[in-house]
Amino acid sequence: MTRSLRLPPLVVETREIEPVDDLLVLTDPRNPLAWLRRGEGIVGSGRPVMQMGGRGAPPMSIPLAEIWREITADARVSDPLELPGTGLVGFGALGFDPTSTTRPYLVVPSTITGVHAGRAWTTTIRREGQTDDESAAPSPEPYGPHWSATLGPGLLLPDAYQQAVRAGIEAIVAGEVEKVVLARDLIGTIPAGADLRRLVRALATNYPDTWTFAVDGLIGASPETLITVDHGTVTARVLAGTTPRGADADEDAAAAHALEASRKDLDEHRFAVTSVVEALAPLTRDLVAPDEPHLLELPNLWHLATDVSGRLSNGASALDLVRVLHPTAAVAGTPTDAALEVIRRLEPFDRGRYAGPVGWIDARGDGEWAIALRCAQIGAEQQRQFAMYSDTIPVVAHAGAGIVAASDPETELLETRVKFRPIVDALA
C-alpha cells in the first residue's frame, strides 16, 4: 500500500460505553480477533476496513512500520479516552523467519471494543464517504458447542528432535553458534465450524497473566512480551531459562532454586537479554536492564525473566521496535543470523508465525506485542494434506527449547512437552 493508491482516509471515532463482561462474545466465532490479559483488552469485529499480507501473500516491498505511518498520517481520529487500545488500532501477526512464505499480516476491523482499568469503549472505523451503517456496533453472539481437537506427532518425532538437539550442540561446539532454539511440532484437526472463541476463552481463563491472542487463526497465550510502548515509554520482558513446576511446595521451591542457580539457564538468559538491549539501543534512550533475572511463576513453569525499560527516540513506533527486536535470542539463538541457518537446517518445517511477533499498534505508534508462544495456527497453510477433509480444519502447534553447549537432549525434549501443555490442554 502506498499513497499512489489514493484510498480515502480513515475516519475513527471512539466513545465510552457501559462495562462489558465478556469481550469475546463480540468477535467472530470462526475467525476471532482478540488481545486479552487479566480480563481486559480489545477485540475486533465486522468487515475489515484495511487488511494486508498474511499466508500466501506476496512479499512486501515496504516495511510494515512505514505502511502504518502512511495509513495513520491521513486518518481523522476522535479519541477522547486515549487509553491503551482506543482510537485507530491495527492487529498484526508476523512470521518467525524472514524467508517464510507466511508474510506479515495487519488488519484494521470496522469495530473495536475494549476494556481497560474499569472503562469500556467502542471504536468505529470507516473510510471517508462510507456510511455509518456499514460500521454498525457488533451484537453479542452466544458461544457455540464445546469441541475438541485431534492431535498427533508432527514432522519432527521425539527421537528425531533429540537428534536435532545433538546436532545443535555439535554446531555450538564447532563455534557455529553460541545458542540455538530448536522447535518440534504437533499436527491435527478440529471440527469444521468450531467456535474458536472457546479456545481463546480457555487460554485466557487458565493463563490470565499471559497475553491471550487471536489473529488470523493464530491463537495462543504467550508469557513473553516482545515490546510495549505506552505514550513513549518502552518496556520489554525477556524470558529464557525454564523448568517445570514441582508436584508439591518443597519440590516446587527446589525447582525454582535450581533454575536460579543453573549456569546453563543463566547463560541462555544472558544471551537473550543482551540481544534485546543491543537491538533497542539505537531507537531508545535511558535504557535500563537489571544485572540479574528474577523468577516468573506460571501455572506449569518457572521462567527466568528480565524487564527492560526505556524511552522512545528518533520518532520510532512499536512496529519499528518489533522490526529490530525480532527474532530475539530467546526464540532463535546467538548470533541470530547463524542461529537461523542452523534452525533451517535442522527443523523439517516452516515455523510460520510460531515464535513470531503478534499484537497491536495504534495511531500514536504505541502498542503491545508478544512473541507467539504456547499457540496453534488454525487452518495452517503448510498442512495442505488435510484439505481433502471437508468436516475438519487443520491445526499445527510448535514448542521449542534453547540449546547451549551444556544442554541434554532428553531434558530439552521434556521442556517442549511442558511448553506444549497449555495449548494441548485447551485444544482438548
> Known catalytic residues?
179, 224
Cα atoms found within 13 Å of the Cα of residue 160, Cβ hemisphere only: 11
The answer to whether residues 339 and 411 touch, using CB atoms and an 8 Å cutoff, is no
State the angle between helix axes of 336-346 and 158-173 in degrees (0 to 180), rounded to the nearest 10. 140
Asked whether the bond before 244 is cis by omega within 30 degrees of 0, the reply is no
Which residue is listed with cell 553460541?
178
387, exposed or middle or buried, with CB in 10 Å at 0-12, 13-18, 19+?
A: exposed
Q: How far is 11 from 346, CA to CA, in rounded Å?
A: 48
Which residue in this structure is represented by grid cell 545433538? 166
CA dist 25 and 27 (Å) reads 6
Please compute, for residue 93, the number of CA atoms within 13 A of its CA located in the half-sphere on the CB side. 23
Neighbouring residues of 310: CB distance < 8 A, sequence distance ≥ 6: 233, 234, 280, 284, 285, 286, 287, 288
CA distances in angstroms from 92 to 52, 323, 358, listed in the order given: 10, 13, 6
- Distance of alpha carbon 421 from alpha carbon 399, whole angstroms: 10
Q: List 272's β-bridge partners, or say none.
A: none
> Which amino acid would we find at residue 388?
M
